[in-house]
Amino acid sequence: MAEPILEVKGLRKEFGPLVAVDDVSFSLPEGGSLAIVGESGSGKTTVAKMIVGLERPTAGVIRACGADRSLPPRSTRERRRRGREVQIVFQDPYTSLDPRQTGEATIDEVLRLHRGWDRDRRRERIKQLADLVGLDDRQMRALPRSLSGGQRQRVAIARALAAEPRVLILDESVAALDVSIQAQVLNLLADIHDETQVSYLCISHDLAVVRQLTQETVVMWRGRVVERGTTAQVLDDPQDDYTRRLRASVPRPGWKPPGHTVAPAAV
Amino acid sequence: MSPSASLLEVESLTVRLPIEGGMREVLHGVSLEIRPGESVGLVGESGSGKSMTARAIDRILPPGAAVSGQIRFGGRDVMSLGGADLKKFRGEVAMIFQDPRAHTNPVRRIGDFMTEALCTNQGVSKQDASRRAVALLKDVGIEDGERRLHQYPHELSGGLLQRVMIATALLTKPRLLLADEPTTALDVTTQAEVVGILDTLRSDLGLAMLFITHNLELAAAICDRTIVMYAGQVVEVRQSNRLHDEPLHPYTAALTAARPSIERTAPRLLAIAGRPLSAFEAPETECAFAPRCPYAQDVCRRARPSLVELDGGMTRCVRASDLVGHMELSAHG
């Protein structure tokens, strides 16, 4: 079997006395899609941060694209290589873009840094990426403040893809979007997955989003993995108590909150 | 539904706000009604005007707002209330916000926050107010109320703090609760608990509620009727139990179809083209949803449709009677 594109083994992170991530292991095959599901405090975002190098693991191994990244990079070259391999799209498109930089300039900077292309080639690639995420010229030349949330998130996705990463981490990337826009971005992410063979690590609390976007799922609770399997298995036949409770809490047609007393039939 | 008199009546509510140098209309003639003890959902995407509607009702619009139309609560004209009457009104119509942390003072204790309205507006003694606060905290599932009263907001989790907000809102014995996305910032399991508490208390106390959310299914779960807003207008009013399977307006149908399902993976989601219009962008001469509507025809672009009764509900769609039962509701065929 081929080596996974991303592999995490025995990952642990302590913040003082608090163990935020405790013995977490999973692997993401090339071209695959894996969800880490959990609520606030589950440690899912800390795992993502350790993978991209924003937090340093207390213990454990992270390997991506055949290279170890458990320890901080020792050179600029190494740091950039890691950046190229794994990119991340954050939850909040309002704070994750530079307010003084247009979409075009944002992507241009990534292309200059990671690809070192000349101006014409960069311009051509910017156009391609804009088409891929569905932004027009005017939107690409606008500052974030004049873009909607959905448009900003498209810029963030285009920026992440500009580095041509092999792993894209989606950290609650559609959570802040309106339902109608969320569907557009989810379809876009599915298209990109089909077209580019990029692998997805999807961090989310939204089980319906996870079902739509991923093949496999890891459920985290209080820093630990409590359940794993194919996404369909985990959602259709949850084994762990916490996964069951999570599944049962999602409002859906006919759903009633706990403690709801059934009203007598309408007269 | 019994034809009891309305508790709250909003008629042709229009709100204009100073935006980018001009007065822009952000609510276009919103009309709605809530009966005593009834829970009504107000659903829409960002910019649809759902929060603005609640703020107009509670008279907490931003400065410079120009309001026209009628708001009547228990038969009284809300717009003309002032001074002591307005304070009394706000005791009867309590509001719960999305972000409890943004609506508490971080340097004041929970107890002071909870009892302030009772002590200053209703002249209740500090001791009495605290006793009532502890009793209500118990009702929302917080057993150690005494201790909580001495804590600061940062010492409580989001879910706990939102329960404190609910208890606080109930302290003045309101008749109507305006709940503006009260569980949106909470985890799903916490949301289920908080919504469960809200739902139980509301029916026990016979309290009416306007529950604002972007989540159709959540609204349907705890509301008798659901009102759907788009671009500053009410586009549909429907019994909640019929909203999902028998929507009247194409926008409601599109929202239902766009949402991914926890049950299965769709080959492709039925996304709604374009983006939601902000209320002030809504055209006066055509249906605001027409540019994104898969069923739009020339007739939809001739005038802004009015809200008409249909099949026990209301819809703002000129093609509604042709479309009912024929709209695509799921990406799963």
Report how far apart, in Å, the C-alpha atoms of A37 and of each of A9, A205, B267 are.
18, 5, 22
B189 and A246 within 8 Å at the Cβ level: the answer is yes
Rounded Cα distance, B200 and A211, in Å:
31
pLDDT at A47: 97
Mean pLDDT of all residues in B168-189: 91
Mean pLDDT (whole number) for B28-34: 96
Set of chain B residues whose Cβ sits within 8 Å of the Cβ of A252: 217, 262-263
| pTM of the shown model | 0.89
Q: Which of B188, B258, B263 sits opposite A246 (nearest CB)?
A: B188
Contacts of A151 in chain B (CB under 8 A): 275
For every residue of A99-143, DSSP letters joined together read TTS-HHHHHHHHHHHHT---HHHHHHHHHHHHHHHT--HHHHTS-
pLDDT for the residue B17 = 92
pLDDT value of residue B1: 43
Provide mean pLDDT across the span A21-42. 95
Residue B213, pLDDT > 50, answer yes
Strands (E), A29-180: 33-37, 59-64, 67-68, 86-89, 167-171
Q: pLDDT class for A260, splitting at 50, 70, 90?
A: low
Listing DSSP states for A212-248 in one string gives HH-SEEEEEETTEEEEEEEHHHHHHS--SHHHHHHHH
Does A136 have pLDDT greater than 90?
no
Residue of higher predicted confidence among A102 and B5: A102
Sheet of strand B76-77, all strands in order from the earlier edge strand to the far edge: B22-34, B8-19, B66-73, B76-77
Instruction: Strand A167-171: give its sheet, edge to edge.
Output: A86-89, A167-171, A199-204, A33-37, A216-221, A224-230
Report how far residue B268's alpha carbon sits from residue B270's, in angstroms, rounded to the nearest whole number. 6
Given a cut of 70, is residue A263 above it in pLDDT?
no
Give chain A positions within 8 Å (CB) of B158: 40
pLDDT at A176: 80
Q: What is the pLDDT of residue B243?
A: 93
Lowest mean pLDDT among A13-17, A239-243, B45-49, B91-95: B45-49
Q: What is the pLDDT of residues A222-258, one digit of tens each?
A: 999 999 999 999 999 999 999 999 999 999 888 888 8
Say which DSSP state A190 is in.
H
Whole-number pLDDT of residue A101: 95
Confidence (pLDDT) at B332: 59
Report H helices in B259-333.
320-323
More confident residue, A49 or A94: A49
pLDDT the model gives residue A1? 58
User: Mean pLDDT throughout A115-141?
Assistant: 91
Of B280, B285, B287, residue with least CA distance to B315 = B287
* CB within 8 Å: A183 and B45: no
Average pLDDT score over chain A: 92
Optimal mutation site among A178, A186, A241, interface B, most CBs of chain B within 10 A = A178
Q: What is the pLDDT of residue B2?
A: 44
Contact B276, A180 (CB under 8 A): yes
| B248-291 pLDDT per residue, tens | 999 999 999 999 999 999 989 999 988 888 888 888 899 999 99
pLDDT in tens, A36-76: 999 988 999 999 999 999 999 999 999 999 999 999 999 99
Tell me what the mean pLDDT of segment B31-38 comes to.
96
Nearest to A245 among B189, B196, B258 (CB): B189
B188 vs A266: CB contact, 8 Å cut-off?
Answer: no
